[in-house]
Amino acid sequence: MKIAYFHCFSGISGDMTLGALVDAGLSFQQLQEDLAGLLLTGFRLEKDKVTRQGIGGTRIRVITEEGHVHRGLGDIRKIINDSRLPDGVKEKSVDIFT
């Protein structure tokens, strides 16, 4: 089992997390395939390399058709539980949000 520890003393956004995971070895194609398992539509991911203040990394941009959508905990639980993700992943994912 591999474990990653995030020391986010000032927070981290979802797209920053995805970029860090890709830099740590997650295949961008695998990421896209796994996200397709959520059965959500109206978005796509773009990836490019960036350098800021001399530090390089991968930037993942989430491009949506509808703009920003606000979802509550019930909506997120439904998305996860209705997905094609394995049951263990569903349970851990719901636990993260609660």
pLDDT at residue 8, rounded to an integer: 85
Q: Are residues 63 and 85 in the same domain?
A: no
Note whether 37 and 57 are same-domain residues: yes
pLDDT score of 21: 94
Q: In the predicted model, what is the mean pLDDT of residues 51-60?
A: 95
Q: Is residue 32 part of a domain?
A: yes
Residues 6 or more apart whose CB falls under 8 angstroms from that of 17 comprise 6
Assess whether pLDDT exceeds 80 at residue 67. Answer: no
Q: Which pTM does this prediction carry?
A: 0.79
> How much is the pLDDT for 98?
87
| 1: pLDDT strictly greater than 80 | no
Residue 42 φ then ψ, to 5°: 85, 20
**Nearest C-alpha neighbor of 40 from the set 87, 5, 75, 92:** 75
Specify whether 54 is located in the same domain as 79.
no
Domain boundaries, position 61 = 12-67
* Helix, strand, coil percent content, the chain, rounded in steps of 5: 40, 20, 40
Residues 18 and 52 in one domain: yes
- Asked if residue 5 is part of any domain, the answer here is no
Q: Do 19 and 57 have their domain in common?
A: yes
Asked if residue 30 is part of any domain, the answer here is yes
